[in-house]
């Protein structure tokens, strides 16, 4: 049974997503993120049937619904490239890096207690907050895929919310380190588990063969998982820890289909290997700053950039960071960079926006479809109000977005031509229901943990 059919059998069906119509986003300051188009100070974006038809001043579209953008910055939606959405609700219980109630102890303790419905509700909570932050594409890094039903539940949440996403099928938190992940079910999802519509794609998240808080997995197990995943033609993602690049290279596992996460503790020789093998890197700067001393050290964004390694930005876990603010992700990398290099090696707001949009799409292999407001691409567009007290007056939109903007400034979010947020309000999601059901879930998890 496919995911759409399963959704219809649930007792709490999703509200219908809005239709893809024809829109003219009129009179905004358009940051196309397309180098051939540049920025347009007073321009329109014409969208029809989910695609960008044209970008320019004074576009003629008499049958289109007008979205007034005269006091807004118009840009591509943010592309997150690594997010453990399954534990979003656990931010109610996680207490930073506290020894007993920190991120790793809580997720390791409660992960094995998650039902498929817990996973659904927690993923949906993270997605709702992400949409409010202007995130239109997510890489759902699912390292609590405890069963086929859990995988289907996370896919249902992605489908119900209307986001664009890659589902990185992982493993259950209780899986023994010497046991392989469920490659048979991964193949099942690839074969018939993805909902129709083309917004969702599939990959695989694998464990790490070097020391880390969740335990080092024997390299033989990792190699066997790589072989099985690559036989399916799927992309792979893994957390990077000091030394992991060298271990992977020694076993012939680096490659352009591999994304590593966290640019920390990587030697000069390893950076060269990453560049040569075209392995990409997702940077989660908020988390990397929070846990730098206890784990991996400084964020090596600049070092990897100098070697030509493709990088992108990610939330990581809104349970650990306490929120899913993508503006804060850009700022965290900016402050880290400034602390390390000052003005000697500038990191411009424009470069940060590129990391948050087009480079994210490149990392996920979808830059032919999203990441810039280019005619022919799909319409993943956000409008950020430029006259709110915390951001205006705006002279340089890129500077304002990186230094001042907050999720509360996000006015409109469109994914694949569907308006999912308008005037700061969800058009399909019921925010109160999302929060209520996430709260019920986490309280139930906590009670089961205490009873055990």
**Residues near 164 by beta carbon (within 8 Å), at least 6 away in sequence:** 136, 137, 138, 199, 200, 366, 370, 378, 380, 415, 416
**Residue 54 lies inside a defined structural domain of this protein:** yes
pLDDT digit string (tens) for 269-325? 999 999 999 999 999 999 999 876 555 579 999 999 999 999 999 999 988 887 899
257, 379, 50: which is closest to 371 by C-alpha? 379
Q: Which residues contact 8 (CB under 8 A, 6 or more apart)?
A: none
Q: How many percent of the chain have pLDDT more than 70?
A: 95
Distance from C-alpha of 202 to C-alpha of 268, rounded to nearest angstrom? 32
DSSP assignment of 316-367, as one string?
B-HHHHSS--HHHHHHHHHHHHHHHHTTTS---HHHHHHHHTHHHHHHTT-T
Let me know whether 209 and 298 are in one domain: yes
Q: Is residue 294 part of a domain?
A: yes
CATH number, domain containing residue 29:
2.30.40.10
Please check whether residues 223 and 105 belong to one and the same domain: yes
Res. 7: pLDDT tops 50: no
272 within some domain: yes
In a domain, 436, yes or no: no
The CATH number that applies at residue 249 is 3.20.20.140
Q: Are 207 and 177 in contact (CB under 8 A)?
A: yes
Residue 3 lies in a domain: no
| Domain-terminating residue out of 329, 356, 383 | 356
Residue 220 has pLDDT above 70, yes or no: yes
What tokens does 33 get?
């993120």
pTM of the model: 0.95
Separation in Å, CA 342 to CA 280, 364, 385, 396 = 26, 31, 30, 21
Kindly report, residue by residue over 346-396, the tens digit of the pLDDT. Answer: 999 999 999 999 999 999 999 999 999 999 999 999 999 999 999 999 999
Give Dmax (Cα) for the chain.
Answer: 65
Angle (CA) 79 237 334, round 5° = 45
End-of-domain residue from the set 356, 387, 403: 356
User: Contact 286/329 with Cβ under 8 angstroms?
Assistant: yes
Dihedral (Cα; 332, 335, 337, 340), 10-degree rounding: -130
Domains identified in the chain, total number: 2
Q: Please state, in angstroms and as integers, the Cα–Cα distance from residue 450 to each residue in 94, 108, 438, following that order.
A: 15, 14, 18
Q: Give residue 57's domain range.
A: 22-76+373-426
């Amino acid at each position: 049974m496919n995911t759409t059919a399963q959704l219809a059998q649930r007792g709490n069906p999703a509200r219908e997503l809005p239709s893809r119509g024809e829109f003219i986003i009129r009179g905004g300051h358009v940051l196309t993120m397309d180098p051939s188009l540049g920025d347009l100070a007073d321009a329109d974006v014409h969208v029809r049937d989910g695609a960008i038809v044209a970008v320019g001043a004074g576009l003629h579209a008499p049958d289109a619904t007008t979205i007034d953008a005269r006091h807004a910055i118009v840009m591509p939606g943010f592309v997150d490239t690594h997010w453990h959405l399954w534990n979003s609700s656990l931010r109610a219980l996680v207490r930073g890096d506290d020894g007993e109630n920190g991120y790793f102890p809580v997720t390791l303790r409660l992960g094995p207690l998650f039902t498929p419905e817990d996973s659904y509700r927690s993923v949906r909570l993270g997605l709702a907050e992400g949409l409010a932050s202007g995130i239109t594409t997510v890489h759902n890094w699912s390292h609590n895929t405890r069963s086929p039903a859990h995988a289907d539940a996370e896919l249902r949440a992605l489908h119900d919310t209307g986001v664009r996403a890659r589902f990185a099928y992982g493993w259950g938190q209780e899986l023994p380190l010497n046991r392989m992940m469920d490659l048979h079910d991964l193949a099942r999802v690839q074969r018939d588990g993805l909902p129709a519509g083309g917004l969702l794609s599939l990959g695989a998240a694998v464990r790490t063969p070097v020391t880390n808080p969740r335990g080092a997995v024997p390299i033989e197990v990792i190699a066997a998982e790589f072989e099985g995943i690559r036989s399916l033609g799927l992309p792979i993602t893994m957390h990077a820890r000091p030394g992991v690049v060298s271990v992977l290279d020694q076993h012939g596992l680096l490659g352009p289909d591999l994304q590593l996460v966290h640019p920390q503790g990587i030697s000069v020789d390893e950076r060269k290997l990453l560049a040569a093998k075209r392995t990409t890197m997702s940077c989660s700067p908020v988390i990397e700053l929070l846990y730098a001393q206890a784990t991996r050290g400084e964020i090596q964004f600049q070092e990897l950039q100098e070697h030509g390694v493709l990088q992108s930005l990610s939330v990581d876990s809104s349970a650990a960071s306490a929120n899913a603010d993508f503006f804060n992700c850009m700022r965290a990398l900016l402050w880290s960079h400034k602390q390390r290099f000052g003005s000697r090696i500038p990191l411009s707001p424009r470069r940060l926006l590129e990391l948050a949009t087009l480079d994210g799409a490149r990392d996920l292999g979808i830059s032919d479809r999203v990441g810039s407001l280019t005619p022919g691409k799909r319409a993943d567009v956000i409008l950020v109000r430029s006259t709110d007290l915390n951001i205006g007056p705006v002279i340089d939109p890129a500077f304002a977005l990186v230094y001042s903007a907050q999720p509360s400034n996000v006015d409109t979010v469109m994914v694949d031509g569907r308006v999912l947020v308008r005037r700061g309000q969800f058009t399909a999601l019921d925010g109160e229901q999302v929060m209520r059901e996430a709260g019920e879930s986490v309280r139930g998890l906590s009670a089961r943990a205490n009873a055990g």
